[in-house]
Amino acid sequence: MIDGQVDYSAYSRAQLFDALRHIDRARFPVNLANLERALAVRPEDPPPPPPKEAPPEIDQWNWGAFLMPALWAIRNRAWIALWCAVPVVGQVFMFYVGARGSRWAWQSGNWKSLDHFKRVQKRWAIAGIIVYIVTLAASGWIVKAMVDVNQSTARAAAFELVGKNEEAVHALGAPVKLSGLAHGSVVKVQGQESEAHIVFGVEGARRKGTVTTNGKKAGGKWVFDKISVAVERREEPIELVPAKPK
């Protein structure tokens, strides 16, 4: 509302600002008549560009969007695909991203041609498959290492010694049993365990504890240079086999 008389709500702020700037540059007085003249000669705002229509041939599964949704979304400016980063929901949404990703990328990207678009998306697919294979191989190696540690005869031998130690059993409370998954490393030579560095949990009737072991296999038996049991609410660990001085 100008001077309480004329309603200029039909004009945008940009239009009014440009009109007032025109008056200021021309050094005209800022009044109702000059504002109306400036608005009358101001060109209309150009219409927004129409959305880029996706050609039918791009409606196909996008492996890059499916296998690497977060990176693909950022590079292709398809921000909706970032929903894949949300736990649980993202694992389901990634299938929708794989199905609709090509259309989103086409609408948001500055592509020279359809062939250019297809080449770029093919590179994303190849990169996604490589990352998937590497991740799968690494996951398999990690799982195998965990199985080797948890099924190791070194863990069994160390646990047996813990169960025979009166101080450890008294601190934990009989009976003592294994607790949780072990972690660490087991070195094998020709398929046979030869060295182990393992940390595993134990649990007694009163308290829980953590056992740290270092050992080598000699003559078919495990020889430990360290078996230490850290018991809850106990300051000093119980050293079944004290570590050798460095």
CA distance 42 to 16: 10
Determine which of 4-18, 72-86, 143-157 has the lowest per-residue pLDDT on average. Answer: 4-18
Q: Which residue would you say has higher pLDDT here, 218 or 163?
A: 163
177 bridge partner residues: 203
Chain segment 221-246, per-residue pLDDT in tens:
899 999 999 999 888 999 998 754 54
Name which of 88, 193, 91 is nearest 149 in CA terms: 193
- Using the predicted structure, report yes or no on whether residue 5 has a pLDDT greater than 80: no
Judge contact between 223 and 216, C-beta under 8 A.
yes
- By DSSP bridging, strand 208-218 and strand 177-189 are unpaired
- Could you tell me the residue ranges of all domains in the chain? 1-48, 56-147, 151-241
The predicted model gives 94-105 an average pLDDT of: 92
What's the pLDDT at 90?
87
CATH architecture of 151-241: Roll (3.10)
> Residue 2: pLDDT band by 50, 70, 90 thresholds?
very low
What's the pLDDT at 246?
46
Burial 79-104 (b: 16+ CB within 10 A, else e): eebbbbeeeeebeebbeebbebbbbb
Sorted by sequence, the CB contacts under 8 Å of residue 143 that are 6+ apart come out as: none
Residue 162 has phi, psi (to 5 degrees) of -65, -45
How is residue 86 annotated by DSSP?
A: S
